[in-house]
Structure 1
Amino acid sequence: MTAEPPATDSSLPRDRPGGHGDHRPAAAGERVGPLGGLLLLVVGVTCLRLAQTGAYTSYVRGEMRIPLFATGALVALLGLVALASYVRSGGRAESGEHPDEHEHEHEHGHGRGFGGAPRVALLLVLPVAVVYLVGPPALGAFSASRAAVSVPPPRPVPFTPLSAGADGTVTVALDEAVERAYGGDTLSGHTLRLTGFVVDPDGRKLILTRFVIRCCAADAEPAAITLTLPANVSVPDENTWVTVEARWAGDAPPDGRPGFMASSLEVIEPPADPYET
């Protein structure tokens, strides 16, 4: 006796591409959607642009150029792949064309926005728009005047002695000058060349400042000294970048800003890499 095949209910939905019964993985373009692919492409191109123009140094360390190039290229490539996959799939995205997907969207699609992209991905538009429309500069006097300055912690090993160049000066990073002022008598008798921007000029005094970053501008901390100018030197405006020749005044005050006496001051253009590391 031959067994009859089980009866089927014609009212049940049949499996078809893109339906609930189709368990094939969705293509990248369907998962991300056209807007998601476009966002990835724009973010990747923005990273490449920042790395190519050097504007990235306003936000991260100078040696991050190669990683930024690589990241931008990878993200842009992912965006292109997503867009190409979306086109090949015939324009099916998460918000697709199948009538039974409305119910599926109620189950799984609440996090999706326009064009099939996750709503949270739309936030990527904000930093991109800021970079292109505003182009925020590196941290300057406004941020420095509101940042806390502290005495540097003791060094585990003493500083090496300074050695003057042919012109009798020693070029020193501003944060190193601050650390040396609190870390022993290694500055006495030396004329230092220091570079930074002007904060709070008042009479013959100003605060010479430069931000130090470990990774990016988000963790920046100011290194600052109190600089006294001679009578024959004009006091520059706030936020002006300068290079000074100065000698340590021999003090190490509790506010974290050692005093220096300037002998010369030169106004300069903002450096390509505004941060010390």
Structure 2
Amino acid sequence: MNRQAQAVVLLLLGGAVLRASLTDLHLRYVKAGLQPFLVAAGLLLVAAAAMTLWYELRPDVDDDPVDHDEGHDDHGHGHHGARVGWLLILPVLGLLLVAPPALGSYAAGQAGTVLSDRATSDYPPLPEGDPVRITVLDYASRALFEQGRSIGDRRVQLTGFVVTGPDGQPILARMILSCCAADGRPVKLGLTGDVPAGLADDTWVEVTGRYTDRIGRDPVNDAEVPYLEVESWRQVPTPKQQYE
């Protein structure tokens, strides 16, 4: 692979990173707060590619007859390296042509719930409103770590996707990222009461209910899974930001 080809691959890679970071596509891979860093990385790749192409295509190129771009040795390692270099275009094609979905029910079913260590903590009172909108992680933390004292008898409203549990009953889940999709872990809630029925995995729902002290166990890592007493629910479109 000569330098012009390397620059083209670099340009495609930078363009793919920019395309993902300037649209909602990047939310499937990383947390929303990392968008500025992705934009900066894409711009640097495009700038490096443009400078390389300019240097290679300028009219006053080096007249040295030695071909520096096709370096090789007696054992042909250079040719192998050149061929391997073309593999760099695979992630580029992946970003440009394929739009994999965000982590969902399959990933949640393969990993244990993230709240695996019991701790004690003081939580602030819930915001005003009836029902009050909180995250799946916030509800699960309050339900497990302080037995729902800060929730009391308040009605809460949560949004997550459906996962079929080992007993065939639906579970409400949401994926949590520390940095990117590679470290995604699920937060799981058992559901009782008016449980969403007849829904396929990865269906997004909004549930309204109250705290219950019922606790289950995650079969993947044997961690405690809190429950929510569902009073009503409705199916909702997949949110733009699928991770918490």
What is the TM-score when the length of structure 2 is the normalising length?
Answer: 0.84
SS at match of 1:258: strand
Letter in 2 for 1:183: F
Segment of structure 1 superposing worse, 104-113 or 63-72: 104-113
- Sort the Cα spacing of 1:153 and 1:33 in 2 relative to 1 into closer, same or farther, 3 A: same
Name the CA distance, whole Å, in 1 between partners of 2:78 and 2:140.
50
Equivalent of residue 110 in structure 1, options 52, 72, 77: 77
Letter in 2 for 1:176: D
Alignment correspondent of 1:123: 87
Name the CA distance, whole Å, in 1 between partners of 2:61 and 2:171.
60
Alignment correspondent of 2:215: 252
Equivalent of residue 141 in structure 1, options 85, 91, 105: 105
Equivalent of residue 227 in structure 1, options 177, 185, 191: 191
What whole-Å deviation, never above 9, does each CA across 1:95-121 have from its counterpart, x for those lacking one?
x9836879962179835668xxx5554
Alignment correspondent of 1:269: 237
1:215 lines up with 2:179 in the alignment: yes
Contact 1:138–1:274 (8 Å) recurs in 2: yes
Count the aligned residue pairs.
237
- Sort the Cα spacing of 1:35 and 1:273 in 2 relative to 1 into closer, same or farther, 3 A: same
SS at match of 1:70: helix
Name the CA distance, whole Å, in 1 between partners of 2:7 and 2:208.
53
RMSD (Å) for aligned C-alpha atoms: 3.2
Tell me how far 1:33 sits from its aligned partner. Answer: 0.6
Contact 1:198–1:207 (8 Å) recurs in 2: yes
Alignment correspondent of 2:24: 54
Equivalent of residue 135 in structure 2, options 173, 178, 186: 173
The alignment-based identity, stated in percent, is: 30
Alignment correspondent of 1:182: 144
1:199 lines up with 2:163 in the alignment: yes
1:82 lines up with 2:82 in the alignment: no
Tell me how far 1:77 sits from its aligned partner. Answer: 0.8
Letter in 1 for 2:126: L
What is the TM-score when the length of structure 1 is the normalising length?
Answer: 0.74
- Sort the Cα spacing of 1:66 and 1:99 in 2 relative to 1 into closer, same or farther, 3 A: closer
Asked which structure has the greater RCO (Cα within 8 Å, sep 6+), the reply is 2
Contact 1:201–1:238 (8 Å) recurs in 2: no
- Sort the Cα spacing of 1:105 and 1:191 in 2 relative to 1 into closer, same or farther, 3 A: same
Contact 2:209–2:232 (8 Å) recurs in 1: yes
Unaligned 5+ runs, structure 2: 219-223
Name the CA distance, whole Å, in 1 between partners of 2:30 and 2:44.
19
Letter in 1 for 2:211: W
